[in-house]
Amino acid sequence: MPSDTPQPSFVLVRPQMGENIGAAARAMWNFGLDRMRLVAPRDGWPNPRAVAMASGAGRLLDEAQLCETTAEAIGDATLVLATTARPRGLTKPVYSPERAMQLAAERISVGERVAILFGPERAGLENDDIARANGIISVPVNPEFASLNLAQCVLLLGYEWRRAREEINHEVTELAGAGWAEAIEIEKLGDQYEERLETAGFFFPETKAHGMKTNLRNLWSRMPLTRADVQMLHGVMRQMVRWKERGE
Amino acid sequence: MPSDTPQPSFVLVRPQMGENIGAAARAMWNFGLDRMRLVAPRDGWPNPRAVAMASGAGRLLDEAQLCETTAEAIGDATLVLATTARPRGLTKPVYSPERAMQLAAERISVGERVAILFGPERAGLENDDIARANGIISVPVNPEFASLNLAQCVLLLGYEWRRAREEINHEVTELAGAGWAEAIEIEKLGDQYEERLETAGFFFPETKAHGMKTNLRNLWSRMPLTRADVQMLHGVMRQMVRWKERGE
């Protein structure tokens, strides 16, 4: 059974190669999408090449809805968007993938059904299909080289769906074991280095000593140091002192 | 020669299959990126399978910088970001693809050099590579199925680079030939329909006639009609009148 998560259907219209259908299934499932519809696949259905390619996402193929026409595949949708690589001479709103998936997410959140159309590999959707869509999705590719294949197009739309739907953490810091050091620990680290380096004759000449100390304090405090980092840095200095005290 | 457009380098670290290097080149060039660096590709370099796969983006392979170590490949960069699929037990900022490429675009706009690291197909980057990076990029995939391949990962980062760099038109309407109709044309269309439908006895019963007329006017004005649409709708009504006048 497809997941309960409300989501758009991805409709592959007259896809040619089974491999591409399988790769599209994988691309969808990478972003948690599992409602595929197929309109008149060229080599019939089911297709063993699709299954071989879909490894890990084969369930999407088993559950795919097979339709004879585009009209049948989109019959229950209240918003239909068609992906195209080139202008079609049809008056129609053209959305970026980002805006299209925001729109899809808004509509789906109020209980509507959304279908996204993807054309056959070689020629893309026919105008007859596009005339049935409420809008067009155009991926902003390099005009000198626009060669997205079917599964890549599915991947980008799936990615934008996930972006539109989820709170993405744009920036977090992975903390390995230890938490962040507190200011008092940084202070003590600074103290240790300053004291030991004083003994070692680092702050020379006298006229520059104060500036050097300030810079060293500043170096520690602008680093995002964990407790483990602080321990490591204490260890470094301790070791240098031990090595000196051992004598050569 | 690579293009003059300031951009990040995409560094493929120890890539295995030539086909994947070729597919990565295509994915890059789809979004206008053409600075590839290769660290110790498994099957040597140049690689005829990479060339066969890269069709249309072969120039990127010819111009790719071949390096022996990751350290060499990122030597000139002031910001290094590493793509990884899983946490690594290293304390490091983790960025979404979107935030990572915004950061890259900011740094590049002030003349810095940015490198993005991609790991080998099977195992991904080693911690030894990641320890050299300033941050990690994590694609928000389905935790139940995270199976992005090398070229797909390159594709998503290329896409985000283009989004970060360019003014994308999020919504435009493609106009086929005719421009938008002016209000006076919509008004006259409304007049024609109202007049003809009046003759045909459409506005019945009398008590509802005014409301029906208002709704019909409203229907026309909330449609985004072009001049060609207006002509078509005039033609539809004209034809019905002709057909009636011919008699059966």
Lowest mean pLDDT among B14-23, B96-105, B168-177, B181-190: B168-177
Check pLDDT > 90 for residue B21.
yes
In the prediction, which pLDDT does B217 show?
86
Which band of pLDDT confidence, cut at 50, 70 and 90, is reported for residue B1? low
Are B29 and A174 in contact (CB < 8 Å)? no
Check pLDDT > 70 for residue B52.
yes
> What whole-number distance in Å separates Cα of residue A103 and Cα of residue A107?
6
Residues in chain A: 248
- The pLDDT of A69-97, averaged and rounded, is 88
Quickly count: other Cβ atoms within 10 Å of residue B224's Cβ: 11
Lowest mean pLDDT among A96-100, A195-199, A223-227, B119-123: A223-227
- The pLDDT of B163-190, averaged and rounded, is 83
Are B156 and A156 in contact (CB < 8 Å)? yes
Which band of pLDDT confidence, cut at 50, 70 and 90, is reported for residue A171? confident
Which band of pLDDT confidence, cut at 50, 70 and 90, is reported for residue A191? very high
Chain centroid to Cα A151, Å, comes to 16
Residue in chain A nearest B228 by alpha carbon:
A91
pLDDT per residue as tens digits for the range A23-69: 999 999 999 999 999 999 999 999 999 999 999 999 999 999 999 99
Give percent of chain B with pLDDT exceeding 70: 99
Are A94 and B174 in contact (CB < 8 Å)? yes
Q: Give contacts of B170 with chain A, Cβ < 8 Å.
A: 95-96, 98-99
Considering only CB atoms, B141 lies closest to which of A31, A98, A176, namely A31
In the prediction, which pLDDT does A21 show?
98
In the prediction, which pLDDT does A248 show?
61
In the prediction, which pLDDT does A1 show?
66
> Average pLDDT of chain A?
91
What DSSP character marks residue B111?
T
Q: Give contacts of A95 with chain B, Cβ < 8 Å.
A: 170-171
Check pLDDT > 80 for residue A117.
yes
Are A170 and B90 in contact (CB < 8 Å)? no
DSSP string, A26-50: HHHHHTT---EEEE--TT-SS-HHH
Quickly count: other Cβ atoms within 10 Å of residue A197's Cβ: 16
Check pLDDT > 80 for residue B177.
no
pLDDT per residue as tens digits for the range B151-165: 999 999 999 999 998
Measured in angstroms, the CA of A206 and the nearest CA of chain B are apart by 34
Crossing angle (nearest 10°) for helices A150-165 and B150-165: 60
Dihedral angle computed from the Cα positions of residues A75, A80, A84 and A87, in that order, rounded to the nearest 10 degrees: 110
- Whether the bond between B46 and the residue before it is cis, its omega within 30 degrees of 0, is yes
Which band of pLDDT confidence, cut at 50, 70 and 90, is reported for residue B98? very high
pTM attached to this predicted model: 0.85
> What whole-number distance in Å separates Cα of residue A204 and Cα of residue A185?
26
Crossing angle (nearest 10°) for helices B150-165 and B97-109: 50
Residue in chain B nearest A152 by alpha carbon:
B152
Considering only CB atoms, B156 lies closest to which of A88, A142, A159, namely A159
Are B156 and A152 in contact (CB < 8 Å)? no
What phi, psi does B215 have (nearest 5°)?
-65, -40
Are A27 and B152 in contact (CB < 8 Å)? yes
Measured in angstroms, the CA of B177 and the nearest CA of chain A are apart by 8
In the prediction, which pLDDT does A223 show?
82
In the prediction, which pLDDT does A247 show?
76
Q: Give contacts of A32 with chain B, Cβ < 8 Å.
A: 142, 144
Chain A and chain B share a number of CB contacts under 8 A equal to 139
Structure tokens that stand for B136 in this block:
């990690």
- The pLDDT of B111-126, averaged and rounded, is 92
Going A24 to A28 to A29 to A35, the CA torsion angle's sign is negative
**CA contacts within 13 A on the Cβ side of B165:** 22
In the prediction, which pLDDT does B119 show?
96
Q: Give contacts of A35 with chain B, Cβ < 8 Å.
A: none
In this predicted model, which residue has the larger pLDDT, B123 or B68? B68
Which amino acid, one-letter code, is at B35? R
Domains and CATH numbers, chain B: 9-165 (3.40.1280.10), 183-247 (no CATH)
In the prediction, which pLDDT does A100 show?
96
Give percent of chain A with pLDDT exceeding 90: 58
Q: Give the SS3 label for residue B179.
A: coil
Picking from B30, B86, B157 by the largest number of A CB atoms within 10 A of its own CB, the best residue to mutate is B30
Q: Give contacts of B177 with chain A, Cβ < 8 Å.
A: 89
Residue in chain A nearest B86 by alpha carbon:
A174
Are A91 and B142 in contact (CB < 8 Å)? no
Q: Give contacts of A229 with chain B, Cβ < 8 Å.
A: 91
- Whether the bond between A46 and the residue before it is cis, its omega within 30 degrees of 0, is yes
Measured in angstroms, the CA of A198 and the nearest CA of chain B are apart by 31
Lowest mean pLDDT among A4-8, A202-206, B88-92, B120-124: B88-92
- Whether the CB-CB separation of B157 and B137 falls below 8 Å is answered with yes
